[in-house]
Amino acid sequence: MIALIDYGAGNLTSVKKALHALGAEFTVPASPDACADAAGLIVPGVGHFSATTALGQPWRDAISRAVDAGTPLLGICVGMQWLYEGSEEAPDVRGLGVLEGECRLLRGDAEQRLKVPHVGWNALDVSGPCRLLAGVPGGSYVYFTHSFAAPVTDACVASTTHGEPFAAAVERENVFGVQFHPEKSSDAGLRILRNFLELC
């Protein structure tokens, strides 16, 4: 059973729909205790980094314990950003801190007409073999909608460039994250979600 973590920001409908289509069994737990029994955890995300404050200490502890016990964790969009130490978007809000670094505002490029927010389909520059992106060739397009992004570090398995490169997908042991929306990225996105579910 996958635990889909709802922290009240935006809507989970499209992630639920994709999990249904992939035949995954999932629940949206009301209490952090459920994390201990979950086969995998998904932290979705839309909206502002500060919304993650709804995941108070009991949730942080439960998610950290599950990750330490080896449970696969996937963060999507703001859910991925939350895996880092923090974000420029809400400097007073701490991230979970399982990955090093801070998320920063993309700068765009006025001369090249690269706007921020970065909205639309952009290509994955896959850096090497990894489990999350198995069967997803480099150059595949996925759907992004965000203004802040994580830096390219050694946890990064695919980067994307919008004026500057940023972390599009990360993978370290049982911790995974995607800045894009796999649930909105057609076949490539569904493949990535299925890869994660197969690890759970």
Partner 1 sequence: MLTKRIIACMDVRDGQVVKGVQFQDLRHAGDPAELARRYNVEGIDEIVVLDVTATLETRRALRHTISAVAKEIFLPLTVGGGIRAEDDAAAAVDAGADKVSLNTAALNNPGLITTLASRYGSQAVIVAIDAKRRGVSGIVSESGFGVFVRSGTADAARDAVEWAREAESRGAGEILLTSMDRDGTRAGFDCELTAAVSDAVNIPVIASGGAGGLEHFADVFTRGHADAALAASIFHYADTSVADLKRYLRAQGIPVRI
Interface with partner 1, residue 67, by CB under 8 A: no
Judged by CB, which is closer to partner 1: 28, or 34? 28
Judged by CB, which is closer to partner 1: 35, or 146? 146
Judged by CB, which is closer to partner 1: 58, or 135? 135
Contact at 8 Å (CB) between 116 and 105? yes
Interface with partner 1, residue 18, by CB under 8 A: yes
Residues 69-108 binding partner 1 (CB under 8 A) are: 108
Contact at 8 Å (CB) between 181 and 169? no
Interface with partner 1, residue 21, by CB under 8 A: yes
Interface with partner 1, residue 58, by CB under 8 A: no
User: Positive or negative, the Cα torsion across 56, 60, 61, 63?
Assistant: positive
Q: How far, in Å, CA of 54 to CA of 1, rounded?
A: 23
Q: How far, in Å, CA of 173 to CA of 155, rounded?
A: 9
90-98, 127-135, 151-159, 182-190 -> range binding partner 1 (CB under 8 A) = 182-190
Residues that bind partner 1 (CB under 8 A): 9-11, 13-14, 17-18, 21, 46-48, 108, 113-123, 141, 143, 145-146, 161-162, 181, 183-186, 189-190
